[in-house]
Each structure stands twice: as structure tokens, then as C-alpha cells.
Structure 1
Amino acid sequence: MLERDEKLVAAQPKILAFHNKAKFEHAGAAGGYLDRYGFPFCCGRIMDKVEYDLGQYDDEKEIFWASGAALFIKSHAWKEAQGLDEDFFAHMEEIDLCWRLKRMGYRIGYCPDSTVYHVGGGTLNASNPQKTYLNFRNNLYMLQKNLAISQVFTIIFIRFWFDFAALVKFLLDRKFKDAWAVSRAHQSFFLNIFKNAKKRNNNLQLENKTGEYKKSIIADFYLDKKQKFSDLDQENFF
């Protein structure tokens, strides 16, 4: 698939769960997307709702990001984008890489003819507060690095309120370590704000927005109860 299109520089296969091979796996599923506020989700997995693979997502297509669980990338594109940002350590570093590639005018693909089975949780399990910290911190890092300069302040300000709501929810659920992890993530963001600002490349104006969702996936999921990718209105995607 990569060889057919010179602009298609990275791709992922269909990713199913190793322990339940009939279901998609959380980390990647059938291709990654990003909503307008920087929240990632997947075809086949929105938030914590993972779909069964019934052949409903067997079409080859362009996506926003390919999962690092099984990422194929052309070497020249890897070198041009300078690879993964090692300051991320883990979580969302592949989304950051794919976003940078898209800002260069390249495309990211999903190849359903290939399937892998992912165990999941090999680095940090879902209940680990360090995972919470990295997810919240790295998402802010990614937004600062890649949003258009006209959007970066507004979107990050809105994200602060989303994150505050998450922190309150953790406190109400008595998950105090996770609440502290969200606070630590914001502290790290502000401590590194000038370092990350230097990573921005404001000269890239060829951004490919395919796979970006124009609405809030959080609102759609919790308020409108759209919990499957097929429930989302396709006209709301770039």
C-alpha cells in the first residue's frame, strides 16, 4: 500500500486484541482520528468503548494517525520529521509524529488487509497514575507543537477546562493519585512551555487535515451517546 503512493508515508494494520481476537484493541483499532480539541480516538474504539470486528471497517483509507503499536513508516519521512519526540517517553508520541508528517503535506493510511494482535498495557496498565500523567501532559505538548498559531492559545485554554473537569471527576471517584497526575501534567506543561515552543515549525503551511473531526468527541460520546465510529456523522470529518 505504501509503495503505491509516494505521499502516503506511514500506515498501520488492523489491530485486534490478543486476548479477545474478535474485538478491536484499544491502541489503534482500525485507524486513529483527532477531534477539534486534540482528543484522539479510533475507528472501532471511542473512549473506553471497543467494538467487535464484524468486517465493518475493512476498507483501505486515509486516517489522521497510525498507532505506534504497529507503525510502518518510510525511512525518508522518518528522517525528515526527525522521528519520535523523546520528551514524550510514551503515549501519543506517534500521534505527534503523524501530525508533523501531515503538516508536511504527507498522508497516513490504514491497511485492513494486514492484521496484528496486540496484548496491550505492556508499558503501563490502564490503572497506573503515571499513564494518566503522560496522557494529559503529552496531549498538551502535542497541541502546543502542532496547532496553527491562530488556534493554539484558544484550544489549549479550552483543554484546561476539559482537564479540570477530569481532575474533579477523579476526586469524586476518590482516585486521588490520578487527580494529582493531571495537576502534575499541567505543571510540566508550563515548566516546559518555552522548550516546546522552540519545537514548533511555523513555516509548514501544507497541512493535510484528513481524519480531523470538526466536533468534540467528548460531547458526542457522553451527551449524544455516539459510542461507535459508525454513529458519527461523516460530514463532520475533514
Structure 2
Amino acid sequence: MQQAAIVILNFNGEKMLRQFLPGVCAYSKFPVVVIDNGSTDGSVDYLQAIHPNVRLVFFSQNFGFTGGYNRGLAELEGEFNYYILLNSDVEVGPNWDEPMVQVLESNPKIASVQPKILSFQDPSHFDYAGAGGGFVDSLGYPYCRGRIFQDIEKDLGQYDDSVLVDWTSGACMAVRADLYHSLGGFDERFFAHMEEIDICWRFRRAGYICVYIGAVSVVHVGGATLSRTSPRKTFLNFRNNLWMLGKNLPLGKFIPIYICRVALDALAALVFLVRGSIADALAVVKAHFAFLFSRPARQGMELAKNQPISVAGKISILFDYYIRGKKKYGDI
């Protein structure tokens, strides 16, 4: 069995592969695998012609982020101890991959590891997706060190440490391969968005921990799948977040949280309406109906009644951000 593989999921991302894959191949210690989700843009031809040493797993259709990774990693099961899941729009530098694997090898209870993730558009600032490590608040809203809602912090070395986190970013995360498979991988009903938060929650429910290491950094373009202003993304984020809560919380904890979420998400829909974003407002409403009529079953181990939602403690990020005016993680 080999130590690790860098696994990139691609769908019509020829432009990103041309821009970033050469650097990944040049700077990585571990072999590179590309899972192609039925691309029609020339991605496969490019990989076969320019990168014959990159292993290609090809599918004839797009299974989404979740289904693409699950099916692709099933092809690799039993070959590697660890997978480094990497978005095709991520730029890496020297010695970026080995430190994450070393962290996993240092403690068998570490399920996943994320590096510092900076913005490609402005590398002096954190990236939206993952930033300096991810958390969820007491109502299940995700946030990051370095990014709270739309407020992005400048990287001043404030998150160069290593800490426990609630979730590691799907843009770049190293995971324990056997654990990934034993817990069923990503929930394919999510299709895309918040699937990494869900699987990290399941890691933690199974007794493992997730870690951020600030000594390693990568640079992420972001928005390659769906624009952050897309109503489709709004729908997936709200629906998947509710699914995640329904799956990972005992019913006694979930019901009061869901009642609060109905009120707060209704307020979010109203804000969208006031701003003229009718499609986004409808997406929030549709997300709640989709959750109520097709809630996914709980997966894996027994639900821990006394397990805290977050390693960060009871924080309401909405209250801190909108009422207390705290725009940076360090101010919370």
C-alpha cells in the first residue's frame, strides 16, 4: 500500500488544469490522480497528451462533487493510506503535501487536515473556502478563522498555528482513506456544497478529530463550480446545511435548533427580497421544503447526545456578527 495520493476532481476544467496541474506535478511528493466527471471540453485529451504520468479515472457523466469523489476514490480503495483531495483551481508550492500527511501519521485519531487557504485574486488575504480553519456555530452556521460571512481578513500571520477545527475545506484536505470509506464517503445527496462539513462532523461523531495547520499554505481561485451569487448555490447551501443538522444531531437537540433556523432563514429570505434577489429568496424557501420532504437518513454510528456541536463552544456567529459587530474571528 502506498502512503498517499493527490486526488483532483475535474469537470470541464481544462483551463484550470492547464494553469495549475503543472505546479501540482512539479511540487508534489505523492502521485497525482485526476477523476474526470464526464468532461466535454478537452480536459481528457489534455491530460492524456501532456500529463501521461497522471493517473486518470474517467466517468461518462457528471456525478457532482460528492458522487465524483466517491466513485473515483472507490477505484483507489486499498491502494493508499491517505487521500489529499485538491480542487483543480488550487495553486501549490514546494513542500505543500508532505506536512499534511505527517500530521495524519502523528496521531491515528486525526481524521483530516487542512492547510492555510489564501485567495488567488489577492494572496495577501484569506480565501472564502476554508481560510484558517472551519467551525460551525450553535445553530449550525459555518464560519472560518479569517472569514466570517463575506468579511475576509488579511493574512498577517495570525493563523500560522495548528488547532483543532470542526471541518476542513474540500478545496484542500488530507483524509484517512480507510475512515473515509468506512463512513460511506461524502453524502451524494448533497451533490455539492457543505459535504466536507458533513463528513467532518461524522468523523468527529466517530471519535476522531480534524486539524488545521497554518505552516502550509495553498492559493485558491474559488467559484469554479458555482458563483457565490448563484441562486442554485444558495439553495444547495441552505438545504445541505439543514440536512447536515438533521443527520448529525439527536432529535431533542435538532428540533429547537430547527425552529430557530426557520425564523432566521425566513429573515434571510426577506433580506434577499429587499435587495431585489427574488431568485435567492425563493431558493431559501425551496431549500426548507426540500429538507422537509426528502430529509436524508442518519448515517453511521449512534448519535452522541452529549457531544458538542463545535469544538469552539457555544457561539452564535449571527449574533456576534450582526448585533455585536464582530467581523473578525479574533474579536469573537
**TM-score for the superposition, normalised by structure 2:** 0.67
Aligned-residue offset at 1:217: 0.3
Unaligned runs of 5+ in 1: 233-238
**3-state SS of the aligned residue for 1:68?**
coil
Aligned equivalent of 2:123: 21
Cα distance per residue 1:9-41 (max 9 Å; x no partner): 101110000111100000000100010000000
Alignment CA distance shift 1:22-1:189 (3 Å):
same
The residue correspondences of 1:14-93 to structure 2 (distance < 5 A) are: 14-93=116-195
Cα distance between partner residues in 2 of 1:228 and 1:94: 23
> Does structure 1 retain, via aligned residues, the 8 Å contact 2:164–2:311?
yes
Label 1:68 to 1:19 Cα distance change in 2 as closer, same or farther (>3 A): same
SS of equivalent to 1:87: helix
- 1:87-142 CA-to-partner distances (Å, cap 9, x unmatched) read 00111000000001100110000011211100010110111110111111001000
Q: How far apart, CA to CA, are the structure 2 residues paired with 1:213 and 1:175?
A: 34
Greater relative contact order: 1 or 2 (C-alpha under 8 angstroms, separation 6 or more)?
Answer: 1
Aligned to 1:148: 250
The code of the aligned residue for 2:318 comes to I
CA contact (8 A) 1:62 1:211 kept: yes
Contact kept, 8 Å, 1:133 with 1:178, in 2: the verdict is yes
Matched-pair contact (CA < 8 Å) for 1:105–1:207:
no
The structure number with the bigger radius of gyration is 2
Q: Name the amino acid aligned to 2:203.
A: L
- In 2: Cα distance, 1:163 partner to 1:32 partner: 21
Identity of aligned residues (%): 42
1:184 aligns with 2:283: no
What is the rounded CA distance, in whole Å, between the counterparts of 1:26 and 1:18 in structure 2?
11
* C-alpha distance 103-112 of structure 1, shift in aligned 2 (>3 A): same
Deviation at 1:213, TM superposition (A): 3.8
Determine the C-alpha separation between the residues in 2 that align with 1:139 and 1:204.
17
Task: Answer yes or no: is the 8 Å Cα contact 1:14–1:30 preserved in 2.
Answer: yes
Query: Which deviations, in whole Å up to 9, do the C-alpha atoms of 1:199-236 show, x marking residues without a partner?
Result: 2456243847553440210010011011101001xxxx
Do the aligned partners of 2:134 and 2:145 also contact (CA within 8 Å) in 1? Answer: yes
The aligned residue for residue 48 of structure 2 is none
Q: Is the 8 A contact 1:30 1:42 kept in 2?
A: yes
Cα RMSD (Å): 1.4
Q: In structure 2, do the counterparts of structure 1 residues 192 and 212 end up closer, same or farther at CA, with 3 Å as the change threshold?
A: farther
Number of aligned residue pairs:
229
- Alignment correspondent of 2:109: 7
Question: CA–CA distance in 2 between the matches of 1:143 and 1:209?
Answer: 9
Query: 2 CA distance for matches of 1:136 and 1:168?
Result: 15
1:210–1:187 Cα change, 3 Å: closer
| 1:220 pairs with one of 320, 324, 330 | 320
SS of structure 2 residue aligned to 1:116:
strand
**SS at 1:71 equivalent:** strand
More strand, by proportion: 2
